[in-house]
Amino acid sequence: MKNALLLFVFLLLNCSLSFSQATVQDTIAINDGSVSKTLTFGIDPAASDTLDESLGEADLPPAPPAGTFDVRFLLPAGNFDGSLSSWKDYRNASFPFSGTREFRIKYQVGSGTVINLAWNFPPKVTGVLNDIITGSLINVSMNGSGNYQVTNPGAFSQLKMTITYDAVTPVELTAFSAYINAAGVNLKWTTASETNNLGFDIQRQKTSGNNVKSGWEKIGFVNGSGNSAGLINYSFIDDNAAAGRYSYRLKQIDLDGGYKYSEAINVSINIPSRFSLIQNYPNPFNPSTTISFSIPEQTKVQLNIYNVLGQKISQLVNEVLDAGIYNVKWNAGDRSSGIYFYELKTGSFSSIKKMILTK
């Protein structure tokens, strides 16, 4: 096989795992026509029906005097008697979770005259908004996006939301794999469902020859899909990994800044046995391409770009490099279409290849 796979040790890992201790949460925006506040609620394995300071719940001081806008959750302790209140309210649940949870909202108007509520729930999360008197004077379905206006908040100073969860999970990672080719270390992962998923930090850790591990470093970010109930595939290429042993993991970040880590997967990249300059990819290209090369020992390296007249138009590398495999990107956005040449030069090796820019 006369290609870059000769330079690499191939590795493919495929495992089933999921993020743990993940919070499923949603918001409801409430205003009195003048002042607004967003309350956050949800379910979490570590939550209880009382105050959970570790999850951001905080016992608020008593409501301000009448005429000042105020809105808060009443926590269940004391049967919603108002002894505990918070802008966040989480209830206990083990995932995947199906069932209902009740949340009690208390409010008073300020300079406005009505109370407006708005929500945007993901799939598998629905609710019913009721008054607490009979549950029928206000009886509103809360599916998807919606809103409701309490026109007489003096008569209804509290509402209850009964939220139904249908086999809800947090971000569920079902596969995480890595393989190596000329482009670099290719990471692929799949989620079976997502709730409030901002995205994924990709982190890397290197292990030295004496088995000492470096700290985890962020090498990239991939946007998540927010809320999803179906399979979603993701990928990322680490094109800056020299020879050595590496571990990779994902830091899944929620929309509110919360995060969880995946398990790590390990990759080994062998030290090349010879000098090699690999055909750029893609080729033809527009406007950028990747040039890969390998060096079996520490040496001074130059990587130059030439036009068809043999004139050097760019120098991509001019430094001493350790043994390893390198990927260098060239952006030819300011160049015209045509044939170009790239040359790898070391103290004992030289190679030239052709590439085509097509615009």
Number of folded domains in the chain? Answer: 3
Spell out, as residue ranges, where the chain has pLDDT lower than 70.
Answer: 1-23, 182, 209
Check residue 286 and give its pLDDT. 93
> Domain boundary at 237, 269, 301, which?
269
Check residue 16 and give its pLDDT. 37
> Domain boundary at 168, 195, 215, which?
168
Same domain, 201 and 231: yes
Concatenated DSSP letters for 134-187? SSSSSEEEEESEEEEEES-TTT--EEEEEEEEEEE-S-EEEEEEEEEETTEEEE
CA pair distance 289, 43, nearest whole angstrom = 47
3-state secondary structure of 25: strand
Tens digit of pLDDT for each residue in 240-281? 887 788 999 999 998 877 788 888 999 888 878 899 999 999
> Domain boundary at 168, 183, 213, which?
168
CA pair distance 42, 163, nearest whole angstrom = 9
CA pair distance 240, 9, nearest whole angstrom = 16
Same domain, 108 and 159: yes
CA pair distance 214, 133, nearest whole angstrom = 61
164-201 b/e with 16+ CB inside 10 Å = b?
Answer: bbeebbbbbbebbbbebbbebbbbbbbbbbbbbbbbbb
Check residue 308 and give its pLDDT. 95
Check residue 82 and give its pLDDT. 85
Same domain, 30 and 163: yes
Check residue 138 and give its pLDDT. 96
Which residues span the domain enclosing 194?
Answer: 4-20+170-269
Residue in 177, 20, 179, 47 with CA at minimum distance from that of residue 101:
47
pTM of the model: 0.53
Same domain, 182 and 147: no
Check residue 182 and give its pLDDT. 65
Check residue 88 and give its pLDDT. 94
Check residue 345 and give its pLDDT. 96
